[in-house]
Amino acid sequence: MLYSSVPSRESSKQSPVANVLEIIPLGGIGEFGMNCTLMRFGDEMLVLDAGMGFPEESVYGVDVCIPDFEILEQYRNDITAVILTHGHEDHLGALPYLLKKINVPVYASHFTLGLAESKLDEHGILGDVLLHRVEPRDVVTIGSFTIEFIRASHSLVDCFHLAIKTPVGTIIHTGDYKVDETPVIGEPIDLRSLRRYGQEGVLALLSDSTNATVPGRTPSERAVIPAFEEIFAESRGRIIVAAFASSIHRLQIVFDVAQQFNRRVCVLGRSMQKNVEIGERLGYLDLHDGMLVSINETKHLADNEVVFLVTGSQAEPRAALYQMATQVYKGITIEESDTVVLSARIIPGNERAISKLIGFIYKKGANIIEEKRRLIHVSGHASQEDIRIMTEAVRPKFVVPIHGEYRMLFRHKEFVKNHLGYAEENIVLIENGDVLELDGERAAIVDKREIKRTFIDDSGFEEIEYETVRERKKMAYEGIVTVFLTINRRKNELDSPPQIVAQGVRGFPSNSINGSHQVSTDRALVKEAELAIAAAIAGASTQTFNDPTLLKEHIRLELKRFIQREMGARPVIVPVIREIPA
């Protein structure tokens, strides 16, 4: 692991004269998660954030997805650094996969790098990466870019806005933020520095849109304290709090209120334990002596002396809360006298799973408190009046909404246009893959890159090809047909009729068909499929017949056409060839 306490790095080469800045989002636009943006001037490029996300629909064998970093190969010699705004997974989670492809220095805050180190260590590359720790108000120069790290308020600690000076003008990238003047941990948002840039002149503001549909101000992190105090005062049994492991402000509140009501805290779940350890080690979490207890120690305490701080607020099946609600987790299960607090927002797409989890908890007889019943969670993102404060402080020439679904980006645009007086042409809506070009006077989308996503398997380490995921999806919806063929190479012909095995294919018998007991209509269909395969083999060229790879593809295409024509289905087709040698 390589560190630099002096946050500066000069480009190793001189960039040619250029008069345009390119901004290319790889993720995070029109979706939740996978936040990653490229910023390019001449032959120098920065990568701003490297986040992961969750698939929008069920993808078999996949837990998370990341941007497709193959696009970076064409810029391999141009990329000079990765800049991280903060440590949430949707901004940090893809960092190891990016650095495995292109190893460049990383600039981030102390806490963000604390989280990054853990990930890089798990992937076995921590010792190979140059990490630059930066403080609020630090200024670094990386080639043509000069970046000031400005303190931001969010649900996580040690977050930054980025003020990036380029040859065509200054860009402000907000990262995730809200205007919190009374955070639980650390200093409030640095509006003074943002206003300073606004006075000097800002070309474009890339601004968080996640809560652009929400009127008013987003409450401070401190706003949840009264509700937690009420819950702790009312509860006579154990209290189980599920929160995002990265919500350090919320974790500190749980520890503080537990101390106030003479309860000890047991931390459950790998990510929660890791983040509490990092937060305490780096001085962001203040824990009283004796506050933390193990599971075994909780068994010797009265129920009204215990708080469990757990993972699983999104009903993840392998997380602590789900396990406690459905079975026994390390000797602990939810009981009738327990109070369960879901102190987190529902990530879109998780509604059904969380509803099911709540049902499991109610069946256990426990009391459950969620966001709709008490003020136990506040957002970390800017609502409309926060957006007003940010935009009026920065006073950019162009506003570029980022981070959020398209409806949020659009509502951000409408708010800025209708309430802050920006002209339509000065608000630019972009999508993933768009190439936004700025030259100091104009901002225009000049190109569109094809942006895919990369899926990560259940282990969290291996990348899965996009085509593999597409095939899995096809199998789930359209089924699979396997064709077994035996080729006699001495005679150069089929040794026996093809054997077809179909599973889940609309209109096709769902078992081994050759030799099975099917109704006559099924048998007739199977016979036609066998004849189609035999005809395909008979019509194959000598080169195709002698090459197993070409022969498999030839059979696959012919059977695909037959099934589509006869049944309208599009299953995955897998030919398997056994050869009897000559």
- Residues 69, 174 share a domain: yes
Residue 541 lies in a domain: yes
Domain that holds residue 503: 479-580
Count Cα neighbours of 469 within 13 Å in the Cβ-side half-sphere: 21
Q: What is the pLDDT of residue 147?
A: 98
Please answer whether residues 526 and 518 qualify as being in contact, where contact means their C-beta atoms are separated by less than 8 angstroms: yes
- Residues 427, 308 share a domain: no
Q: Which helix (H) or strand (E) holds 205?
A: strand 202-208
Phi-psi label, residue 515: left if phi above 0, alpha if psi -120 to 50, beta otherwise: left
- Residues 196, 60 share a domain: yes
Q: Which helix (H) or strand (E) holds 281?
A: helix 270-281
Residue 374 lies in a domain: no
Structure tokens at 66: 């990341």
pLDDT by residue for the chain (582 residues), tens only, comes to: 555 544 443 333 334 336 899 999 999 999 888 999 999 999 999 999 999 986 654 444 556 788 889 889 899 999 999 999 999 999 999 999 999 999 999 999 999 999 999 999 999 999 999 999 999 999 999 999 999 999 999 999 999 999 999 999 999 999 999 999 999 999 999 999 999 999 999 999 999 999 999 999 999 999 999 999 999 999 999 999 999 999 999 999 999 999 999 999 999 999 999 999 999 999 999 999 999 999 999 999 999 999 999 999 999 888 999 999 998 899 999 999 999 999 998 887 788 889 999 999 999 999 999 988 899 999 999 999 999 999 999 999 999 999 999 999 999 999 999 999 999 999 999 999 999 999 989 999 999 998 888 877 655 555 555 555 555 555 555 677 888 888 887 777 778 888 887 776 655 555 444 433 333 345 677 778 888 888 888 888 887 888 888 888 888 888 888 888 877 777 778 888 888 886
- Residues 522, 455 share a domain: no
Structure tokens at 511: 């078992």
- Residues 70, 157 share a domain: yes
Residue 469 lies in a domain: no
Give the Cα separation of 273 and 295 in Å (integer).
13
Of the three residues 337, 369, 401, the one that is the final residue of a domain is 369
- Phi/psi at 442 (5° precision): -130, 160
Residue 81 lies in a domain: yes
Q: What is the pLDDT of residue 483?
A: 85
Closest CA to 316 of 363, 276, 350: 350
Domain count, the chain: 3
CATH of the domain at 60: 3.60.15.10
- Residues 123, 60 share a domain: yes
Residue 205 lies in a domain: yes
- Residues 364, 493 share a domain: no
Residue 21 lies in a domain: yes
- Residues 415, 271 share a domain: no
- Residues 176, 103 share a domain: yes
Strand partners of residue 171: 164, 204
- Phi/psi at 289 (5° precision): -60, 135
Could you give the C-alpha distances from 211 to 208, 246, 416, in angstroms and in order? 8, 19, 13
Please answer whether residues 453 and 67 qualify as being in contact, where contact means their C-beta atoms are separated by less than 8 angstroms: yes
Of the three residues 405, 436, 464, the one that is the final residue of a domain is 464
- Residues 180, 70 share a domain: yes
- Residues 155, 69 share a domain: yes
Structure tokens at 86: 């903060």
Closest CA to 66 of 126, 26, 108, 103: 26
- Residues 85, 15 share a domain: yes
Give residue 352's identity as a one-letter amino acid code. R
Residue 330 lies in a domain: yes
Of the three residues 340, 369, 398, the one that is the final residue of a domain is 369
Please answer whether residues 235 and 304 qualify as being in contact, where contact means their C-beta atoms are separated by less than 8 angstroms: yes
Buried b (16+ CB within 10 A) or exposed e, 512-536: ebbeeeeeeeeeebbeebbebbeeb
CATH of the domain at 544: 3.10.20
